[in-house]
């Protein structure tokens, strides 16, 4: 009999920094497939024996695949998830990919307080999160959406500040920028399509429980 999408668990993995960590963690519970790599030009990689399909996607698109049910599950940073505003279940904090969203400005142009930046321009990959943050502080800003190398914004005079993620702080340091306020902590999350979660409950439930066991034993060993 031919397999249908109900037979498979489809998991969207983000290319880039989270890919290797996601694939390593999933391999520990037996969720792997031959040739699974973010360098591969093959975008769907299937493990027929275990009935798992991996979708290798642009990071920002993972929540979209999951919301529409093209993927049952996905791994994505909390920062990108919040920015996407997608309607998915957040099942598990995977603990890796720790970073935080913050506002930074050129060191030598630092102003006395946050409100002093009111009505200035912010360069960011996260305009929704940034807007929510500044609205909470009663500030009206101009948001300039960039898709990468956000730190360039203030250096080339495109904006007065940036809202971006910081992991090690190296990029800020190397570009003469300084964090002035932290906005949101983030780690990688396992997300699920709402319908898939119900239709494939047993399989997903077992998977979460296996992942929890691994994460707890790794945390205990630290």
Beta partners for residue 166, in sequence order: 100
The CA distance from 152 to 143, in Å, is 15
Q: Which region, judged by CB under 6 A, interacts with ligand PRP, from 128-136, 169-177, 196-204, 205-213?
A: 169-177
Q: Which residues of 126-139 are buried (b: 16+ CB within 10 A; e: fewer)?
A: bbebbbebbeeeeb
156 binds ligand PRP (CB under 6 A): no
Lookup: tokens for 78: 């909390």
Residues 6 or more apart whose CB falls under 8 angstroms from that of 68 comprise: 193
Q: Which region, judged by CB under 6 A, interacts with ligand PRP, from 40-48, 49-57, 164-172, 199-207?
A: 164-172
Options 56, 81, 123, 165; binder of ligand PRP; rule CB under 6 A: 165
Residue 168 Cβ, how far from ligand PRP at the closest point, in Å? 3
Nearer to ligand PRP, 61 or 164 (CB): 164
Q: Which of 155, 175, 151, 174 is nearest to 163 (CA)?
A: 151
Residue 135 Cβ, how far from ligand PRP at the closest point, in Å? 22
Options 3, 149, 209, 217; binder of ligand PRP; rule CB under 6 A: 149
47: phi then psi, degrees, rounded to nearest 5 = -110, 100
The CA distance from 62 to 191, in Å, is 9
Sign of the dihedral defined by the CA atoms of residues 168, 158, 107, 104, in that order: negative
Options 20, 30, 85, 169; binder of ligand PRP; rule CB under 6 A: 169
150 binds ligand PRP (CB under 6 A): yes
Nearer to ligand PRP, 69 or 95 (CB): 95
Per-residue contact track with ligand PRP, 109 to 148, x per CB under 6 A? Answer: ---------------------------------------x
- Provide the binding-site residues for ligand PRP, judged by CB under 6 A: 148-151, 164-171
């Amino acid at each position: 009999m031919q397999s249908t999408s109900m037979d498979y668990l489809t998991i969207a993995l983000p290319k880039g920094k989270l890919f290797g960590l996601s694939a390593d963690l999933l391999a520990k519970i037996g969720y792997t497939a031959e040739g699974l790599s973010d360098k591969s030009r093959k975008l769907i990689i299937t493990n027929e024996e275990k009935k798992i399909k991996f979708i290798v996607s642009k990071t920002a698109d993972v929540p979209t695949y999951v919301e529409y049910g093209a993927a049952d599950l996905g791994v994505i940073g909390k920062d990108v998830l919040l920015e996407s505003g997608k309607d998915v279940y957040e099942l598990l904090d995977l603990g890796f990919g720790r970073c935080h969203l913050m506002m930074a400005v050129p060191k030598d142009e630092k102003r006395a307080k946050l409100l002093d930046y009111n009505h200035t321009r912010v360069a960011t990959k996260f305009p929704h999160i940034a807007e929510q943050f500044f609205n909470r502080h009663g500030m009206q800003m101009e948001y300039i959406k960039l898709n990468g190398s956000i730190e360039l914004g203030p250096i080339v005079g495109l904006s007065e500040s940036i809202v971006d993620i910081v992991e090690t702080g190296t990029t800020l340091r190397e570009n003469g920028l300084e964090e002035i306020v932290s906005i949101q902590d983030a780690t990688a999350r396992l997300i699920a399509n709402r319908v898939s979660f119900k239709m494939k409950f047993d399989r997903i439930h077992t998977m979460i429980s296996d992942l929890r066991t691994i994460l707890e034993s790794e945390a205990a060993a630290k």
